[in-house]
Amino acid sequence: MNDSSSDFARQRRQRLIGIALMCATVACFACLDTTAKYLGTHMSVLQVVWARYTSAFVVTLFVHNPVSHPHLLRTRQPWLQFGRGWMLIGSTLLNFLALRWLQLDEALAIMFSTPFLVSILSGPMLNEWIGWRRWIAVLVGFGGVLLVTRPGFGGMHPAAFISVAAAVCYALYAIMTRIAARTDSNETSLFYGNLLGAAVMLPIVPFVWTTPQSWFFAGLMVATGILGSVGHFMLIAGHRLAPASLLSPFIYTQLIWVITLGYLVFGQTPTGWTLAGAAVVIASGLYVLYRERVVRGGEEA
């Protein structure tokens, strides 16, 4: 009995740590988007993307590199790693570009549609088809996205469509990452993602380079890579301690961070449309996660 109580306490502690790591992860990502938006007003978005991947690649080399971890470069699906890397680059570039014109909360509310896109794409790409309940939740969720973007009503900058494209790229990246996880380690996938991003942006950055105005801006450029690397590291660590179904709802706490940072850094306050749309998207996303847990428990979708 004591052993059972001890195991239960240990699992509970691990899950709480996992939740804390997930909350810290989305805080890092919120700070990353805020930093990218701020830098994007002083230099080319392509330069910001280069800084994000190059800094992340250098940082990760101190933790996982081919010298200390000889198996790091071994992948059974090189073309898949190549494809997911391009999807992540596309998502990052489009997201940073959209943030030049959109508020942080507006861009994030649109990016919250990623779980719905993953649900749709999981059928043809993973043979994981969803049932009618989750289809309804997906449609309602997209209705929430429409509340945020309000196409045709002149209420949202056209850059909202760039943010939608970023969400599509990230959904494809998430699907490919799930496929790669069947054969490759998380460290290998993270290494190849950063390597490809740094390699692709390196020949581009000389054509868009703007010398940072001060050491402060140079530090922010380095910070983008650190925030991205630390965020992804905590994301991986959190999922090792707690199931994804438990951690996923805490992704939505990122909205609190971006609203706070948007106000403190840019003086932006969310509109009623954005808050209403975000509420619909979050509620639908939570229901999709709930149905996924039910289905895995053996009930119908």
Q: Give the tens place of pLDDT for each residue, 140-176.
A: 888 888 777 766 555 667 888 899 999 999 889 888 8
pLDDT of 21 > 80? The answer is yes
Choose among 147, 110, 139: nearest CA to 273. Answer: 147
pLDDT of residue 292: 65
Which residues, including other chains, have CB under 8 Å from residue 32's CB and lie 6 or more apart?
A: 52, 224, 227, 228, 231
Share of the chain above pLDDT 90, in %: 33
pLDDT of residue 48: 96
Contact 84, 173 (CB under 8 A): yes
Each domain of the chain, given as residue ranges in start order, spans 14-296
> Once rounded to an integer, what is the mean pLDDT over residues 217-242?
87
* CA 127 vs CA 56, 122, 179, 182, 213: distances in Å: 33, 6, 12, 15, 51
Choose among 247, 75, 32: nearest CA to 176. Answer: 75
Contact 7, 70 (CB under 8 A): no
CA atoms within 13 A on the CB side of 288: 29
Contact 15, 247 (CB under 8 A): no
Structure tokens at 219: 């530090």
H-type alpha helices, 127-185: 132-149, 159-180
Choose among 206, 98, 196, 219: nearest CA to 149. Answer: 98
With b for 16 or more beta-carbon neighbours within 10 A and e for fewer, the 141-160 pattern comes to bbebbebbbeeeeeebbebb
Residue with tokens 């450029």: 221
**Quick count: other Cβ atoms within 10 Å of Cβ 282?**
18
Structure tokens at 95: 């997201």
> Once rounded to an integer, what is the mean pLDDT over residues 51-78?
86
| Residue 300 pLDDT grade (very low, low, confident, very high; cuts 50, 70, 90) | very low
Structure tokens at 162: 């760039």
pLDDT of 285 > 70? The answer is yes
pLDDT of 185 > 60? The answer is yes
